[in-house]
Amino acid sequence: MGILLQQIVNGIALGSIYALIALGYTMVYGIIRLINFAHGEIYMIGAFVGYFALTAFGLPFWVSLLLAMVIPALLGVLIERVAYRPLRSSPSITVLITAIGVSLLLQNLAMLWFSPDPKTFPQIFTRAPFNIGGVRITFPQVIVLATSVLLMIGLNFMVQKTKIGKAMRAVSQDKEAAKLMGIDTDRIISFTFAIGSALAGAAGVMVGIIYPRIQPLMGTMPGLKAFVAAVFGGIGSIPGAMLGGVIMGLTESLVTAYISSTWRDAIAFSLLIIILLVKPAGILGKSTREKV
């Protein structure tokens, strides 16, 4: 029982990181129907920005986190502007291939600039665990959970209640009708990339404080898993991405504890296949039904 609870806590902490990354996939997909394969690299850049802010510049944690969100946000906007926007009316496979190209470009630039050797993320928080009813929760886990939850609440508020959030939903539901409302759709798309990338950047720092080894290829696997999480949550659905991320984290954590860590990824991906066989639109995905 103790082990189970422990693994659930670990799984939720890891899952909240996947959720932060998955949100970017789902938001970008929702607004321009693109699987942004460079998104995992944005997360990696976030981790490195956090690393340099903390080590080379010795900035406080919250400032570093903020920088690790702002710089990836700008990068995300830049990528959309130079790589995706010129292809707005091209077939989606063209844009997808471009996204893979951007991903490889960022990986290689990172190896060039940061060297391929892993770096150790500074340990700013004590790793001494709290003990709650036999479950050990570390302070970094608390920080990760609290930050992720706050960011997700903030995102939800923005999307549901603010004017720009309404515009984002409008663009994702009907881009042309959104233009006819006077919405500058290009601006909204940029904004969506900024928000999605900022969340991925934050995830980069979060992963750094729990698993303190970062390197230029670190974005590939979590990027892929977060993408899977977004798909089985229901791609395009924001609550779906959150739920999908947490399920992904829990699955990994439980499989590692009870079966074997070598089976971890295989089982996580099998889960995706099963969910999609039963519910092709994902857990919270809407099967589109239109009234004429």
Least separation in angstroms between residue 96's CB and another protein is: 23
Least separation in angstroms between residue 31's CB and another protein is: 13
Least separation in angstroms between residue 114's CB and another protein is: 40
As given in the structure block, the two tokens for residue 48 are: 């490195």
User: Cα separation of 2 and 124, whole Å?
Assistant: 28
CB 103 within 8 A of CB 37: yes
User: Cα separation of 37 and 93, whole Å?
Assistant: 12
Residue nearer to another protein on the CB measure, 162 or 260:
162
Taking the CB of residue 242, how many other CB atoms lie within 10 A of it? 27
Least separation in angstroms between residue 133's CB and another protein is: 42
Cα angle for residues 16, 17, 20 (degrees, 5° grid): 85
User: Cα separation of 167 and 181, whole Å?
Assistant: 9
Q: Which residues bind another protein (CB under 8 A)?
A: 163, 166-167, 169-170, 173-174, 176-185, 286, 289-292
Residue nearer to another protein on the CB measure, 166 or 264:
166
Residue nearer to another protein on the CB measure, 64 or 192:
192
The sign of the CA dihedral 156, 25, 42, 73 is: negative
Residue nearer to another protein on the CB measure, 117 or 290:
290
Question: Is 164 exposed, middle or buried (CB count within 10 Å of its CB: 0-12, 13-18, 19+)?
Answer: middle
Residue nearer to another protein on the CB measure, 56 or 180:
180
Least separation in angstroms between residue 182's CB and another protein is: 3
137-149: b (≥16 Cβ within 10 Å) or e: bbebbebbbebbe
CA distance to 50, 57, 59, 209, per residue, from 124 (Å): 12, 14, 11, 8
| Token pair 């950047």: residue | 201
As given in the structure block, the two tokens for residue 212 are: 């303190």
Least separation in angstroms between residue 108's CB and another protein is: 37
Least separation in angstroms between residue 183's CB and another protein is: 6
| Eight-class DSSP state of 263 | G
Least separation in angstroms between residue 275's CB and another protein is: 22
